[in-house]
Amino acid sequence: MSHSLAVLISGSGSNLQALIDAIEHQGLPARIDLVLSNRADAGGLARAKSAGLATAVIDHRDHDSRESFDQAMVDRLAPLAPDTVVLAGFMRILTPVFVRAFSDRLLNIHPSLLPKYPGLHTHRRALDAGDSQHGCSIHFVTEELDGGPLIAQAPVPVLPNDHEETLSKRVQQAEHRLYPDVVRWRAERRLFLTANGVQLDDRLLPPTGLVVPDLAAGDTARAG
């Protein structure tokens, strides 16, 4: 039976699209059982529908606490028993109500090289700091915001004339390659969160997770 995913989104869903494409065209052995959004106007819902996926909207504004919103999401997802819950641009802070329900199978992608720049406006912060390198990180989610154990990071260069838009585009390109790879490790039952840390195959990963070669530079950098 293929690996079951639930994908949570709030926005355009380009990372969701990368997963859909990897399943449809690159043999990612997983299926997306539900795309759940907290916003009815999330662009990703249209992407899900055109791929024939089930969708649901649970609007956080219909709930008077974060816990009640999280419980509603747990109630919707738990019967599906997803093998992995993928946060893909899901822009709500999760409480222990949600995190504990899916602990050890909850992934998030974040647009910075964590632990640098948790939270919002990461591209602006990297530019303001004069960083020469930026990137994205994928981690298991714990109760600490953007603080869970790292699985993989993809550095991208900051170029001299970069502004927020150009830099975020380059980071997103890296995200779209890295997230399907990490989800594939899960689907192939190679990636786990253990009491000792993140395990990929038979090794424990370092605190940075796996740092992959410069994705923005393309396959030649990988081959070299």
Which of 25, 203 has the CB closer to ligand GRF?
25
Site pattern 19..58 for ligand GRF (x: CB under 6 A) = -------------------------x--------------
* Residue 76 · residue 7 · CB < 8 Å: no
For the chain, the straight-line distance linking the first and the last C-alpha, in angstroms and rounded, comes to 37
Give yes or no for residue 209 binding ligand GRF (CB under 6 A): no
C-beta closer to ligand GRF: residue 69 or 172: 172
Do 38 and 18 touch, CB atoms closer than 8 A? no
Q: How do strand 197-200 and strand 203-204 relate by DSSP bridges?
A: antiparallel
Q: Which residues contact 184 (CB under 8 A, 6 or more apart)?
A: 22, 28, 29, 30
Chain centroid to CA 154: how far?
13
* Ranges within 91-120 binding ligand GRF (CB under 6 A): 109-111
CB of 136 to ligand GRF, least distance (A): 6
Place of tokens 């995913």: 5
- Between 70 and 175, CB nearer to ligand GRF: 175
Residue 170 in marked binding region = no
Give the residue from 157, 152, 132 showing the smallest Cα distance to 218.
Answer: 157
12 near ligand GRF, judged by CB under 6 A = yes
Contact flags string 52-71 toward ligand GRF, x per CB under 6 A: --------------------
Nearer to ligand GRF, 110 or 134 (CB): 110
13 is in an annotated binding site: yes
Using CA atoms, how far apart are residues 75 and 13, in angstroms rounded to an integer? 23
**By CB under 6 A, residue 172 contacts ligand GRF:** yes
113/198 with CB nearer ligand GRF: 113
Q: What is the spatial distance between Cα 22 and Cα 113, in angstroms, rounded to a whole number? A: 24
175 contacts ligand GRF (rule: CB under 6 A): yes
What is the rounded CA–CA span in Å between residue 15 and residue 165?
17
Least distance (Å) between residue 112 CB and ligand GRF: 9
Q: What are phi and psi of 67, to 5 degrees?
A: -65, -40
Whether 161 has a binding-site annotation, put simply, is no
Burial class (CB in 10 A: 0-12, 13-18, 19+), 81: exposed
Residue 66 assigned to a binding site: yes
Query: Does 209 appear as a known binding residue?
Result: no
Interface with ligand GRF: number of residues (CB under 6 A): 15
Q: Quick one: which H or E segment has residue 220? A: helix 219-223
* Binding-site sequence positions: 13-15, 66, 91-94, 108
The residues binding ligand GRF (CB under 6 A) are: 9, 11-15, 44, 88-89, 109-111, 136, 172, 175
